[in-house]
Structure 1
Amino acid sequence: MKFSVFTASTPDWTPAQAITALAGQGWDGIEWRLLDQQPSSTGEPGFWAGNLATLPLAGIEGEVAGIAALTRDAGLEMSGVAGYARADERDDVERVLRATAALGAPQARVAMPRSDTAEAYPALFERTREDVAWAASLAASLGIKALVELHHETITPSASAARRLLEGLDPEHVGVIHDLGNLVIEGRERHTAAFELLGDYLAHVHVKNARWVTDGERTPAGSLRWRHEWAPLRDGQADVGQYLTDLREHGYDGWVTLEDFSTDLPSRSAPATTSPT
């Protein structure tokens, strides 16, 4: 297996600083966050807004050569691109996939629709199958792979749902991101069974951790209210060590990308860099 870091989890670093730091720490690669994000409401960099290590989708065509050169010159590979364009947003999906190919990255995430929309789930699922088939066809023409992530509150929270969505599509050009932390929240199946079910569609792995907490509040019916939050790798409800062992015993030898959105530890200081990027 090879190990990379998703830049959503390095919000205080510019792209050049992220490259410098991760190469210096001995990581094999980097996974770029790609979207037009909102500014931070506090003015401070955050995971989801004002993230300094995020590549903008607008104008990405003019950025790819420089980013690719910086990454390559530091000795890092690109495990992939984490796009946020939803499957039915075909113009943006196309930009994400073309940017991924231009960067020299092997694969890119295509976001799935939420499961709590007004549209009936069966109709939404079938429409998304058509969108994913289109994305897979485009990915094939570009020599890359389109990825569907196991993500809570979307139509693919589990391996079973993702396998059903992709059934019949070519696993050379479409696959699944198995995400340990998301599965704490929704969709967990026994990992080895999930790996076997996904088969050749198991294309990529994200590792983070989460936990369920309560402040003692109860619903009007008297049930205890619980909410989920991100946790450091060793402090969440998932057994990360066992998960990596399960992957290895299954024969998985692809990328494992670290995502850490917990705030238990102090923010990372920015490394020195000679690039203004």
Structure 2
Amino acid sequence: MLFGGLVSITFRQLGVRDIVELVKEAGLKCIEWGSDVHVPTGDVKVADEVRKMMRDEGLRTAAYGSYYRVGEGKQKASQFERVLESAVALGAPVVRVWAGSVGTEEASEEQWGRVIEDGKRIAALSNDVGVGISFEFHNQTLTDHGEAAVRLVTSIGCENVSLYWQPLDHAMGRNPMDDLNCVADWLRDVHVFSWAKGADGGGIERQALVEREDDWRGYLKQISGVSGDHCVMIEFVKGDDPGQFLEDAAVLRKWIDEVSGGVKEDAADD
């Protein structure tokens, strides 16, 4: 089944309560909470308050969206432990992490080794407390295309490790459907947006979600056929406008209804 939702960093300018109310108004079911503003890493009190709010409002916490760069030696060894502590207090089933900070075209085997080794470490720590690890699918990381992402998760070799996915054609010029099919067996959640290269060939322009209707109908149909439940969450909107988000959410709900027969109603965490 597919759950429609929101990535909270889409609206860093809004408070936690505002985010919750906006998602409810949109008729969506889940939220990925970011670790930079809304649920700061290490602030267990805030995480617990957000968990209770989500439970009371009948919403699902999809993930704790961290900015932990796996394999980056400049990070303190204890940084991930603080991330994990917040994720547990939040009731998040998975922590989203980043596969280093170098793309696959530039990465050395030594850099691959560091990311794999640290990935195994944090996967084991997370498994001990019943939490999963899911890698952001992003350019300038070791998950900048499908084959690389699969290489990473299979090299780590832990059952609680999965992958996010998002179309990277605006950044990498790849066929997104090829990447989606490649990572399907490890797919967790999805970031949904409508971006395109600027008219002058430079920069990125945000569009209304409906502008990429044909693409997203195809992606969601494919995702709906992948086993398990998947949160498909809007990330960033045109003009950072809550009104645009509500329009995009209505479109997303329609597409989900068409490909999977509707969004589950029993979405709240225990």
User: 8 Å contact 1:106–1:144 — kept in the other structure?
Assistant: yes
Q: Which residue of 2 aligns with 1:56?
A: 40
Q: Deviations over 1:5-56 (max 9, x none)?
A: 1111123320011112212332111110102xxxxxxxxxxxxxxxxx6222
Aligned to 1:188: 174
Tell me which structure has the larger Cα radius of gyration: 1
Partner of 1:273: none
Q: Contact between 1:157 and 1:183, CA under 8 Å: does it hold in 2?
A: no
Count of residues paired in the alignment: 238
More helix by share: 2
Aligned-pair Cα RMSD in Å: 2.6
Residue 113 of structure 2 aligns with an amino acid whose one-letter code is E
Residue identity opposite 1:3 in structure 2: G
**SS of equivalent residue, structure 1 residue 234:** helix
CA gap of 1:150–1:237, structure 2 versus 1, over 3 A, is farther
Distance of 1:75 and 1:197 partners within structure 2:
34
Equivalent position of 1:234 in the other structure: 210
- State the partner residue of 2:117: 130
Given the superposition, is the C-alpha separation of residues 25 and 116 from structure 1 closer, same or farther in structure 2, using an over 3 Å criterion? closer
The normalised TM-score by structure 2 is: 0.78
Alpha-carbon distance, 1:155 to partner:
2.2
Counterpart of 2:28 in structure 1 is 27
Cα separation, partners in 2 of 1:190 and 1:31, compared to 1, 3 Å: closer
Structure-1 separation of matches of 2:135 and 2:214: 21
**2:186 maps to 1:201:** yes
Letter in 2 for 1:86: R
Which of these residues, 83, 87, 104, is aligned with residue 66 of structure 2?
83
The residue type paired with residue 85 of structure 2 is: R
Letter paired with 1:139 = S
> How far off its partner does 1:137 sit?
0.9
Matched-pair contact (CA < 8 Å) for 2:63–2:95: yes
CA distance in 1, matches of 2:185, 2:9: 27
Distance 1:122 1:71, change over 3 A: same
Deviation readout 1:224-246 (Å, 9 max, x if unpaired): x5333333322359811221112
Alignment of 1:198-277 (within 5 A): 198-215=183-200, 226-235=202-211, 239-251=215-227, 253-263=229-239, 266-268=241-243
Alpha-carbon distance in 1 for matches of 2:173, 2:156: 22
Name the amino acid aligned to 1:185. A
Summarize deviations over 1:159-186 as a string: whole Å, max 9, x none: 2111101114445311100112x44312
| Residue 165 of structure 2: aligned partner | 178
Using the aligned pairs only, state the percent identity.
24
CA distance in 2, matches of 1:98, 1:121: 32
Unaligned 5+ residue runs, structure 1? 36-52, 216-224, 270-277
Contact 1:158–1:183 (CA under 8 A) maintained in structure 2: no
Partner of residue 46, structure 1:
none
Structure-2 change in CA distance of 1:168 and 1:15 (3 Å): same
Q: TM-score if structure 1 supplies the norm length?
A: 0.76
> What amino acid is aligned across from residue 62 of structure 2 in structure 1?
S
